């Protein structure tokens, strides 16, 4: 059954080998098992029939919006179009993710699915890169420059240009405990920006900060720091008990009121 560590672990041991870091002569990951995709959950995960039974698969190195987020449904539909009902090859990793899903790169009809989801603007690249990281980043940058998919100016009904905001610093690993983590945001434009309804999040989308009704004037910076207590016009506090930013690598994303990405900082 799906979700049982026993069945999936047997699959990984039997078929996973050293995972998908091996690249074939055609530049595609070398697959180690063929599966038939039975259903797509969202833009980066699906269920499939494998030789050992049904498994859940999470596409490695990429992250699509959740279904309740801006562009989540189009990302799911894009993955359905690519793989649902088809036989695909997987280049699997020996480790499972935190939800007991098989981590893999997928190939269908000679097409690298993980890369195609990024190239078409339906997925972001995660920071913990593998051997494919540089290729995926180049594809993401091209999609962003072309303003396609989730990078489109009018994505999710957005109107007008993106807010002129940028990250000028992120202290993800302060000395000692992680209590003093912080992010600094600059209004680099010529007009004040009302941040009410904006969201700051990490690449997993698990950690999310909702901005209060505050305006950031042109040329001014705003610090969002982990902690609880008194705030002011120059510093907001992200009151959470758990660390926010992954010390090994993460991506800070700033979203406007409709969920459009207005700033991104990957480290």
Residue in 135, 152, 11, 121 with CA at minimum distance from that of residue 61: 135
- CATH architecture group of domain 156-266: Sandwich (2.60)
Query: Do the first three CATH levels of 5-151 and 156-266 match, i.e. the same topology?
Result: no
Fold classified for 5-151: OB fold (Dihydrolipoamide Acetyltransferase, E2P) (2.40.50)
Structure tokens at 79: 């993955």
What is the reported pLDDT for 77? 98
Cα distance between the two ends of the chain: 38
Q: Give phi and psi for 213, each to the nearest 5.
A: -75, 95
Sign of the torsion formed by the C-alpha atoms of 54, 58, 59 and 61: negative
Confidence (pLDDT) at 27: 72
CB–CB of 149/121 below 8 Å? yes
Say if strands 221-226 and 182-187 run parallel, antiparallel, or are unpaired: antiparallel
Determine the pLDDT at residue 130: 74
For 228, the enclosing helix (H) or strand (E) is none
Q: DSSP readout, 111-173?
A: EEHHHHHHHTTS-EEPSS--TTHHHHHHHHHHHHHHT-GGG-TTGGG--SSPP-EEEEEEESS
CB 153 within 8 A of CB 144: no
d(CA 222, CA 67): 30
pLDDT at 23: 46
Tens digit of pLDDT at every position of the chain (267 positions): 334 443 444 455 445 444 444 444 467 899 999 999 999 999 999 999 999 999 999 999 999 999 999 999 999 999 999 999 999 999 999 999 999 999 999 999 999 999 999 999 999 999 876 788 999 999 999 999 999 999 999 999 999 999 999 999 999 999 987 889 999 999 999 999 999 999 999 998 999 999 999 999 999 999 999 999 999 999 999 999 999 999 999 999 999 999 999 999 999
Q: What is the pLDDT of residue 7?
A: 42
Residue ranges of domains in the chain: 5-151, 156-266
């Amino acid at each position: 059954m799906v979700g049982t560590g026993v069945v999936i672990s047997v699959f990984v041991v039997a078929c996973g080998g050293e995972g998908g870091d091996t690249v074939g002569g055609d530049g595609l990951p070398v697959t180690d098992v063929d599966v038939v995709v039975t259903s797509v959950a969202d833009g980066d995960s699906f269920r499939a029939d494998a030789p050992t039974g049904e498994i859940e698969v999470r596409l490695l190195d990429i992250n699509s919006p959740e279904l309740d987020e801006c562009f989540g449904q189009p990302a799911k539909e894009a993955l359905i179009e690519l793989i649902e009902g088809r036989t695909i090859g997987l280049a699997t990793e020996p480790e499972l993710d935190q939800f007991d899903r098989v981590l893999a790169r997928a190939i269908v009809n000679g097409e690298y699915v993980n890369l195609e989801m990024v190239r078409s603007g339906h997925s972001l690249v995660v920071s913990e890169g593998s051997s494919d990281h540089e290729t995926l980043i180049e594809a993401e940058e091209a999609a962003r420059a072309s303003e396609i998919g989730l990078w489109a100016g009018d994505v999710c009904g957005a109107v007008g240009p993106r807010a002129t905001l940028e990250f000028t610093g992120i202290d993800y690993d302060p000395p000692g405990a992680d209590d003093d983590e912080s992010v600094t945001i600059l209004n680099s434009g010529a007009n004040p920006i009302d941040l009410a309804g904006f969201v700051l999040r990490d690449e997993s989308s698990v950690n999310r900060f909702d901005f209060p009704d505050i305006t950031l004037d042109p040329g001014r910076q705003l610090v969002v720091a982990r902690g609880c207590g008194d705030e002011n016009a120059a510093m907001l506090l992200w009151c959470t008990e758990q660390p926010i930013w992954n010390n090994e690598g993460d991506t800070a994303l700033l979203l406007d009121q409709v969920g459009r990405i207005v700033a991104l900082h990957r480290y």
